[in-house]
Structure 1
Amino acid sequence: MTTDRINISSGSPREPVLGYSRAVRVGDLVVVAGTTSGGVGETAEEQTREIFARIEKALGDAGATLADVIRTRVYLTDFERDFDAVGAVHGELFGDIRPVTATVGTSALAGATTLVEVEVDAYLLRD
């Protein structure tokens, strides 16, 4: 059985330098790399909304939607302060979809003002 691999780029000049893709699709599986807001937004909520817009674009480029997401991973630099705000945005987007998720506190993320990073896995269940 042969399954083609499709690398999806966001167009970021960092991708070829660092050797990664924004997303990769293999068969019906789509994995989206850790995504930040790229400096958009001052609060964790604002950054999370921008992050999910970027993730939704990557999923769309791979032929998927947020409805196909089966797992999310959320990284926060200030877990206590930002968990509820980020969780509220996650709940708005995934309340009916309900993927599995993990939220992790970390001391730093790429970029001095980055408060949130998210990665997702999706599986296309439709025909």
Structure 2
Amino acid sequence: MSQVIHSQSAPRPVGAYPHARRVGNLLFLSGVGPRSPLDNSIPGNVHDADGKLVAYDIEAQCRQVFANVKAVLESAGAQWRDLVDVTVYLTDMTADFAVYNRLYAEYFAGVDAARTTLGITALPTPIAIELKCIAAVGTSTGTL
């Protein structure tokens, strides 16, 4: 059984894909960025007069991306604690890892999801962070 998830509470995907897809008890979230679901803006981005990105606030982007992941999970009938695997993409590992890691520890307290953090050169839109998540829905995710 497979179900496509489109969330009304999360920002629109930037391409032709759903927010998530559920296959059995596994929920696969598409890459989730920090855009605002209200107006598609990117929290903390600062642009010059020509529209070029000149600065960003990684803390604001982290908080928004975590809120967006939560919105997609809830739209699919899942919860934060159902997360079992999180892949994080940062465009500036050197500058942003410490802040992101502190906030991750805050938001993921008590969630024992596996995690991989990758430094990459760019994302499809002017964002500094994106998450790719897998959740186990309707199962016990406790330890063996």
Shift of 1:19: 2.6
Shift of 1:95: 2.1
- Paired AA for residue 128 in structure 2: L
Q: Which runs of 4+ in 1 moved over 3 A?
A: none
1:31 aligns with 2:37: no
- Paired AA for residue 88 in structure 2: V
Where does 1:50-61 land on structure 2 (aligned, <5 Å)? 50-61=64-75
1:117 aligns with 2:97: no
Specify which of 13, 28, 43 is matched with residue 40 of structure 1.
43
Alignment partner, residue 98 of structure 2: 84
Measured in 2, the distance between the counterparts of 1:102 and 1:66 equals 17
TM-score, length of structure 2 as denominator length: 0.76
- Paired AA for residue 92 in structure 2: D
RMSD, aligned α-carbons: 1.5
Q: 1:70-121, CA deviations, whole angstroms, 9 ceiling, x for partnerless residues?
A: 0101101100110111111111121211210000000111223x11111110
| Closer/same/farther in 2, CA of residues 92 and 13 from structure 1, 3 Å limit | closer
Specify which of 5, 8, 23 is matched with residue 5 of structure 2.
8
Specify which of 106, 110, 127 is matched with residue 96 of structure 1.
110
Measured in 2, the distance between the counterparts of 1:36 and 1:13 equals 9
Identity, % of aligned pairs?
30
- Paired AA for residue 79 in structure 1: M
Shift of 1:10: 3.5
Alignment partner, residue 22 of structure 1: 19
- Paired AA for residue 53 in structure 1: A
Greater share of residues in helix: 1
Larger radius of gyration: 2
Shift of 1:13: 6.6
Alignment partner, residue 83 of structure 2: 69
Task: Look up the SS of the partner of 1:82 in the other structure.
Answer: helix
Measured in 2, the distance between the counterparts of 1:65 and 1:118 equals 16
TM-score, length of structure 1 as denominator length: 0.86
Measured in 1, the distance between the counterparts of 2:103 and 2:5 equals 25
Measured in 2, the distance between the counterparts of 1:60 and 1:13 equals 17
